[in-house]
Chains A and B, each alone.
Chain A
Amino acid sequence: MSAESRVVAGARAQPFRRALREAAVVAVVGAVTALVINALRPDGLVLIAHTPYQTLVPCPEPGGPVEALDAHDPEITSQRSFLVDARPRADFDRRHLAGAINVPYDWLDPVPEDTLAELARSIAASGATRVVVYGDGGRPDSGEHLGKEISGRGIKNVYFIRGGAPAARALEGG
């Protein structure tokens, strides 16, 4: 590189360096503003969180959102899915999807709090990123309702299998 081209390159780099400096100043001013306002506002956050965020349990209201999955959706048998069977114990014992756990849904009694808490712990420990519930496939469907109940207790990404266990049997080739 000639001396002249070095001078030209240097002249071009000047405004860029200045822009970098200005960007750093803006970032610092933004950060200071943020910290001051956070300190002043009543709902400000503590600067350092001490308890881990419950990323699976963000909303407290009962009856949360659930989405329907088609019984042939490959995501159902994916390792990222945590399967929950909402049917009575006897039906579950007769036949169920591999890896599913049984949480019988009672139309008259809500699922006990400790059962849901245990379920939430199992889901978190499994590393699954979605919960797939299936029930009797009736109208109304116990799977959909259990899904809503689970979702309503704050667990994210809850789905139910459209058509319930009868439709899901196709997954086992039965």
Chain B
Amino acid sequence: MRADRIAAWFAVPARWYLGVLFVGACLHKIAEPASFALDIATYDILPLVAVNLVAIVLPWIELYAGAMLIAGWRVRASSLIVAAMMLVFLAALWIALARGLDMSCGCFASQGAEEDPISRVTVLRDIVWLGLALFVVAFDRGLVGLDHWLERRIS
């Protein structure tokens, strides 16, 4: 049980980190939806009819999930969303690399392939973030944040 408690404390900075990461990643995508749509289209995975819809919706879900992780509100739900997104991003990266595409990741901002190229390092980075999200899903007990505060007020 003590190990669980320690893991729960480690989960707090982990979710703050993921929260800041996701909020930071979505800002450019929300501000420049056309650039983000172009990034999605460059992956050449989604059908054309889905490209704009995903470019519009995805960053807002990132924003909500990231903000909830920072605030510590419904942490398990928001970390599940982050984990699911990381799985999707990993699949997209994997497919792009398998096709040998020289392109920008599009993860944080629309850049040239030479500034933010996809590579095995990008895949490894996303695997680490996926692991962190799963760690939060498994071990976060809402020790710091709105969940904790609301629970104390109710009890």
Q: Which of A16, A20, A33, A49 has the most chain B CB atoms closer than 10 A to its own CB?
A: A49
Q: How far is the CB of A168 from chain B (nearest CB, A)?
A: 20
Rounded to whole Å, the gap between the CB of B73 and the closest CB of chain A is 10
Q: With a CB–CB cut-off of 8 A, which chain A residues contact B76?
A: 15-16, 19, 22
Binds A, one of B4-12, B55-63, B86-94: B55-63
* Interface: A157 (CB within 8 A): yes
CB contacts (< 8 Å) of B63 on chain A: these are 30
Instruction: Give CA–CA (A58, B104) in the complex, Å.
Output: 12
Assuming the contacts A26-B68, A30-B61, A80-B100, asked whether A49 and B56 have C-beta atoms less than 8 A apart, the reply is: no
Pick from B37, B53, B68, B101: contact of A129, CB under 8 Å: B101
For B52, give its contact among A27, A47, A67 (CB under 8 Å).
A47
**Residue of A whose beta carbon sits closest to that of B49:** A48
- B60 to A31, Cβ gap below 8 A? yes
How far, in whole Å, are A129 and B38 apart by their CA atoms in the complex? 16
Is there an interface contact between A49 and B51, defined as CB atoms closer than 8 Å? yes
CB closest residue in chain A, given B37:
A45
Interface set, chain A 72-129, CB cutoff 8 A to B: 80, 129
User: Contact: A65 with B114, CB < 8 Å?
Assistant: yes
Q: Which residue of A lies closest to B110 (CB)?
A: A58
- What residues of A have a CB within 8 angstroms of the CB of B60 in the complex? 30-31, 33-34, 37
Docked CA distance A66–B112 (Å): 10
Residues 39-55 (chain B) with a chain A CB within 8 angstroms: 41-42, 44, 48-49, 51-53, 55
Q: Are B37 and A52 in contact (CB under 8 A)?
A: no
B25, CB-defined interface residue at 8 Å: no
Number of interface residues of A (CB under 8 A): 37
CB distance from B29 to the nearest CB of A (A): 10
B77 within 8 Å of A (CB atoms): yes
Partner of A23, one of B44, B49, B78: B78
Contact B77 A26 (CB under 8 A): yes
A130 at interface, CB cutoff 8 A: yes
User: What is the CA–CA distance of A26 and B62 in the complex, to the nearest angstrom?
Assistant: 10
Taken residue by residue from 31 to 68, chain A's Cβ proximity to chain B (1 for < 8 Å, 0 otherwise) reads as: 10111011000011111111011010010000001010
Q: A129 to chain B: which residues have CB within 8 Å?
A: 100-103
Report the nearest A residue to B117, measured CB to CB: A157
User: A65 — nearest CB in chain B belongs to which residue?
Assistant: B112
Q: Is A29 an interface residue (CB 8 A)?
A: yes
Interface check B24, CB cutoff 8 A: no
The yes or no answer to B125 lying at the interface (CB within 8 A) is: no
Q: Knowing that A23-B80, A53-B37, A156-B112 touch, tell me 17 more A-B residue pairs with CB under 8 angstroms.
A: A16-B76, A22-B74, A23-B81, A26-B65, A27-B81, A29-B64, A30-B63, A31-B60, A38-B33, A48-B52, A48-B53, A49-B51, A49-B52, A55-B41, A55-B44, A80-B100, A157-B102
